[in-house]
Amino acid sequence: MNATSPLTSPRTGESHTTSLSIDEQVALLMQGTEYGDEQLTRNMADELRARLAESRPLRVYCGYDPTRSDLHLGHTVTMRKLRQFQELGHEVTFLIGNYTSLIGDPSDKDKLRPLLTAEQIAENARTYAEQAYKILDREKTRIRYNAEWLSKLTFLDLIQMAQNFTVQQFLTRDNFAKRFEKGDAIYLHETFYSLMQGYDAVAMETDVQVGGSEQLFNIITAGRKLQEVRGQKPQIGILVGILPGTDGVVRMSKSLGNHIPILAAPEDMYGKVMSIPDMAMLIYFKLATRYTPPQIQRIETELQTGARHPRDVKMELAREIVSIFHDPDAAQRAEEQFRAVFQQHELPHEMATWTVTGSPTVVDVIAAARLASSKNEARRLIAGGGVSLGGRKVDDPFEIVSPVAEGIVLQVGKRRFVRLMPG
């Protein structure tokens, strides 16, 4: 099947129509996937190719447990894959796991997840969809909640689902195996999660489920098995790789401080992307941008041959990511500020102002202006040489701030500036 499908241009952010062959569609949809097994990768690609040849919109979904209210770039990798399916004309469901969240997914954890209350889940869920629309097409996205069907299951239903799996299957999972070896507890309710997620696929009769590579057991083993038991054609699992944080190595995580919030200001987002190591750039292009396989191959070739400097490629990456969550104009302004501050060592043209009253210390001002999360963090930044006032390094956290009439610039870290004005 040749599909005429709107694909978004990473240069302009606008959609254009292009005709993709089935092989080209498969290459795009399999871009950035990881299965840990070459044969499984080929099997999923072949099944996807056959399903696309049916010349109908596929039912595609990804589930999101609202365990937090703020999302970072790592959370959007699966959303980017859903957007690709949307632009190829398929039906996409953004599933909010307000029932699976009551347990918590143990797939990427080597310890028990803390349980959330129904109230916490509801509060987090309110913000999820709105943030997702920074990636997904609002008009083409169906929002559903899995409490719709999971809350209606009986104990007999659970028994009948559980009889399709063995305890040994769960104990061979990497995270459970590690806990078992260490003698850490594995609670019975944690095994229910895979059954619940598998039943999501049954309830919606899905063709494709998108998820992170750590979801292999839930999507490939549990979901496909339960669909077959119910007489459905088993879904195809599109398992995307894990986006590393700004350190380029460890999974992006707010708790580790290596994350890029999707609600970050353009300048901050641009600067954080520019801070990632060169070795991680291609992973970001594959998982977090609108670039197609041929475009990424071009960039990879240019880097290998030395036709482009890695700095210039990274700036292209930063422009693309800021354009996704803001717009091209904001990306251009962020780049101009980055060049001025980091390449030309100038102050940014625009910055916030803060009125200083009384005789506060530098630490007081940093905390009050929210340039650091706490006074303790402010002191650590000063001790590390990360704070400047009027162009000179601050080494005394108790220094009194007395701005002149025209103001004085306080810089905290590499990207946070504020002009202090007298009260």
Summarised one tens digit per residue, pLDDT across range 352-401 is 888 888 889 999 999 988 888 889 888 988 988 889 887 788 888 898 88
Cβ count within 10 A of residue 311: 11
Cβ count within 10 A of residue 60: 25
Which residue, 325, 319, 308, is CA-closest to 271?
319
Q: 266-343: which CATH topology?
A: Tyrosyl-Transfer RNA Synthetase (1.10.240)
Question: Quick one: pLDDT at residue 4?
Answer: 41
Say how far apart CA 332 and CA 319 lie, in whole Å.
Answer: 7
Question: Quick one: pLDDT at residue 10?
Answer: 54
Say how far apart CA 240 and CA 254 lie, in whole Å.
Answer: 20
Q: Let me know if the fold of 266-343 is the same as that of 352-422.
A: no
Strand pairing class (408-412; 387-389): antiparallel
Q: Pick the range with the lowest mean pLDDT from 60-69, 141-150, 345-354, 377-386.
A: 345-354
Helix (H, G, I), strand (E, B) or coil at 412: strand
The pLDDT of residue 409 is above 90: no
Which residue type sits at 419?
A: R
The pLDDT of residue 97 is above 50: yes
Question: Quick one: pLDDT at residue 51?
Answer: 97
Which residue, 377, 380, 382, 373, is CA-closest to 401?
382
Say how far apart CA 88 and CA 3 lie, in whole Å.
Answer: 7
Say how far apart CA 251 and CA 166 lie, in whole Å.
Answer: 30
Q: Give domain 3-240's CATH number out of 2.30.30.90, 2.40.170.20, 3.40.50.620, 3.30.1380.10.
A: 3.40.50.620
Helix (H) or strand (E) holding 50: helix 38-52
Helix (H) or strand (E) holding 38: helix 38-52
- CATH for 352-422 is 3.10.290.10
The pLDDT of residue 3 is above 60: no
Report the percentage of the chain scoring pLDDT > 70: 90
Average pLDDT, stretch 125-143?
Answer: 87
Question: Quick one: pLDDT at residue 104?
Answer: 58
Q: Where are the domains of the chain?
A: 3-240, 266-343, 352-422
Predicted TM-score (pTM) of the model is: 0.76
